[in-house]
Amino acid sequence: MAIRDILIHPDDKLREIAKEVEFPLSDDVKQLIQDLADTMYDAPGVGLASTQIGVPFRVAVTDILWRSEEVRHDSDEAGGKRDLKVWINPEFVWKSDEMASWEEGCLSVPEQYANVSRPAAVRLRWFDEEGTQHEADFEGFQAVALQHEFDHLDGKLFIDYLSPLKRRMITNKMKKLFKQGN
């Protein structure tokens, strides 16, 4: 178990474009996947992309059950339930024209939230840890979480969808937070 430091905006590494992962997975990539999961659960969050810990590979993890309304991770009802998903070399093959707005936050932009409009449904192609390719449709919060995490792999943050004024205000807050932490 290794908890990694999560990069905080405006760290330039968050803007790196991630590289495709080759199969079979190296031991380093297998360890990266485990570290991503451990770090996400520790934070706690519903997703984490490798670029958020400074590793520019096309790998992300999500677990929307972990933080869902029905099963809170810090409650007795959770009973340790987890639904970890590993996404390697993900690509959207379709996005709906219908849009949906959700309040988003980000582990790399702590304590900042804003409504972001994204396609309401998506079709995704990705690989699992064994190198098997999958394709499936997602909607609702799962679609939002996937788009949010995979934006990270392309060097984008949820604040990029906000007005320039709102984005600048959040960036200034993060710069102050960064200065206080160093």
**What are 124's two structure tokens?**
């995704």
Is 73 annotated to bind ligand? no
Q: From CA 43, how far away is CA 23, in angstroms rounded? A: 29
Q: Which residue has the tokens 């997602």?
A: 138
Q: From CA 151, how far away is CA 7, in angstroms rounded? A: 15
Annotated catalytic residue within 16, 91, 103, 149: 149
Is 20 a known active-site residue? no
Q: Quickly list DSSP for 139-155.
A: EHHHHHHHHHHHHHHTT
Q: From CA 63, how far away is CA 47, in angstroms rounded? A: 6
Binding-site residues for Fe cation:
106, 148, 152
Binding-site residues:
106, 148, 152
Residues catalogued as catalytic: 149
